[in-house]
Structure 1
Amino acid sequence: MTVQLPSEIVVERFLPTARSMLAAALAARGFAQREIADRLGVSQAAVSQYLAGERRDEPRFVDDPRMQATVERIADGFDDGTMDDYEALAELLDLVRAFEDRGPICAIHEEEMPALEGMGCDLCVRGRDQSMQAERDVLANVRRAVRRFSNASVVANHVPNVGTNVAMALPSASDETDIAAVPGRIHAMRGGVNVPANPEFGASHHVATTLLAATTADSAVRGAVNVATSDALLSAVPDDVAVDSFDPEYEGRRARLDEAFESGVPRVLYHEGAFGIEPITYVLGTSAVDAVEHAIAFIERLDEPGNAPD
């Protein structure tokens, strides 16, 4: 693994791209190469290379609307005399800070250091603290749960058409950004399941809504997985496991869930679908791993004598 600081990305990729874009913007406004070089703090030869396209720009910076707007703002300011070097530097520093916080610098940093994947650059922006460790623990738990789910041969037939997601909440979660899940969801494919990406915070909506309501009612409940509702699956849930149903309509769902959980959070929560809404069953647990283990256990009971569907 390569240990790389975000400042290296700023120096090696952001700054050359910013200078190249500014050189082009200033040249388009009639600045001579010597004037551009003085403004950018580089040699005239470097400006010539920028304008000739001989230096490689980072596409994620070039294509970002914030970068484009900042470059145009600085170039206009230099052109009409309303912006000095100090103000231009302030503009670029603001852009760097924005890019380091779940922006393109963050994305490049994750590519260079896979250990940061899904962390949203919290280490860089907010520093090392207990909340960051909690995020790492939650992401690790979801990754283990996803591996367990994807390696279980029995689950493919129970993945709904809309896909399955595995989720876990941070302690005291308050919104979807406090829930880690799989971006794009898990889908059945060729008798197995396909996991499109590593878990990230804020990657789920429907599973996150259910889990948020559950963990708000009972802080010990922090994990969830959704599977397709079927009579066979529900009949395979042991009698001593709490099961409840709810209205599947999306409008006002959180409020209905909050009301339903006032009397306790069940292990299994399901709905039977509605127009345009596929029937879904949520298995809840103390963690993502716990929820997945219980879901797999229920599915495996389908093959036991007396539990197989007619």
Structure 2
Amino acid sequence: MKLPSEVVVDSFLPTFRALLASELDDRGFTQQEIADRLGVSQPAVSKYVMDKVEKEGIVATDDRVRDTVERIAEGFDDGTVDDYNALSEVVGLVRALEDRGPICELHERESPFLRGKGCDICVAGDDSSLLVENEVLGDVRRAVRRLKGIEGVAEHVPNVGTNVAQALPDADAPSDVAAVPGRVYAMNGRVHVPANPEFGVSKNVSEVVLSAARSDSSKRGALNLATSDELLEAASVSGMHAVGFDADRDDRRETVEEAFADGVPDIAYHRGGFGVEPVAYVIAEDAPGAVEKVEGILRS
């Protein structure tokens, strides 16, 4: 009898570390820097980069593994990924590979009695709601990192700050929406993120996300930028649909939902009011999708 965790330790982890070590080595990291990142010794890193550690083929060639290695290495390189983010990415990857993926296949290879039984031991024991929450938090983290890397985006951050949010499926309250505590802000031409995302920490962006999801359950992500003619014109050039609403009304939720009566637009914006800064909300299926739309707008 071999536990799934043994497969992760014996087959997945050495392969993943070897791939990540090689990628970081290619990016100019020293072996000691790589060792510190991976939590191993410098001699172990030397073996990884010299290709003296046997890799498990079905793990090494999996697109999800390759994508995660590249994403973490790039984040370490440009400073947008810290050790916590990297660990979260790897844990999420392991969970994905345990669900009818390479880890599942390797487990069946080591334990033939599992073959043909439709085994779901690895995933059945997890709290499904917790898994979904982790996925949403992961989406917001990835979206924020991508937002930081968009050239010129800091110029469009409102004085009150920006937030990136994503709702759980069937969300019905701000506590079901993940965002960045304290908001994302611009300083010296760069975007700064004060903390990792949490649930229930956003008000205005959460209201827009919840209103969008009530109108169209597939729309669960959004972020806010400063409203400007330049931004709206660029969105139009990009083929995006924008709808305005009145910021002065007290019933913000009802006002936004009225704006979504004919469908959820790509952008919902207002021109501000007394003590209210003009803000445009970019809406998509999820938080990374909203950031992708922002990239399209700014390219225009």
TM above 0.5: yes
Provide the C-alpha distance between the structure 2 equivalents of 1:153 and 1:241, rounded to a whole number of angstroms.
Answer: 20
Query: Within the alignment, does 1:233 sit opposite 2:231 as a pair?
Result: yes
Q: Which residue of 2 aligns with 1:251?
A: 250
Instruction: Give 2:137's aligned residue.
Output: 139
Q: Which residue of 1 aligns with 2:34?
A: none
Matched to 2:286, the amino acid is S
What is the match of residue 214 of structure 1?
212
Cα distance between partner residues in 1 of 2:236 and 2:230: 12
Q: What corresponds to 1:269 in structure 2? A: 268
Measured against aligned partners, the alpha-carbon deviations of 1:50-105 in whole angstroms (never above 9, x if no partner) come to xxxxxxxxxxxxxxxxxxxxxxxxxxxxxxxxxxxxxxxxxxxxxxxxxxxxxxxx
- Name stretches of at least 5 consecutive residues in structure 1 with no aligned partner: 1-110, 116-126, 302-310
**C-alpha distance after superposition, 1:259-294 (max 9, x if no partner):** 221211101111000010000000000010000110
Question: What SS does the aligned partner of 1:203 have?
Answer: coil
Structure with larger Rg: 1
TM-score normalised per structure 1 = 0.55
Distance in 1 between residues matched to 2:141 and 2:282, nearest whole Å: 17
Q: 2: distance between equivalents of 1:256 and 1:248?
A: 8
Q: After superposition, what is the alpha-carbon deviation per residue over 1:114-151, rounded to whole angstroms, capped at 9, x for unaligned?
A: 85xxxxxxxxxxx9321111101000000000000011
Show CA shifts across 1:156-176 (max 9, x none).
100000000000000000000
Instruction: Provide the C-alpha distance between the structure 1 equivalents of 2:135 and 2:250, rounded to a whole number of angstroms.
Output: 33
Choose the corresponding residue for 2:146, options 145, 148, 157. Answer: 148
CA-to-aligned-CA distance 1:172-215 (integer Å, 9 cap, x gap)? 00000000000000110111011000000001000000110001
Contact 1:154 1:296 in 2 (8 A): no
SS at match of 2:281: strand
Distance in 2 between residues matched to 1:144 and 1:295, nearest whole Å: 14
Q: Give the corresponding residue for 2:295.
A: 296
Give, in whole Å, the separation in 1 of the partners of 2:167 and 2:201.
Answer: 12
Count of aligned residue pairs for this structure pair: 179
Distance 1:234 1:258 in 2: 20
Structure 1 stretches of at least 4 aligned residues deviating more than 3 Å after TM superposition: none
Amino acid at match of 1:281: A
Q: For residue 193 of structure 2, what is the aligned residue in structure 1?
A: 195
- Which of 152, 167, 177 aligns to 1:169? It is 167
- Inter-partner Cα distance in structure 2 for 1:153 and 1:299: 8
Shift of 1:250: 5.8
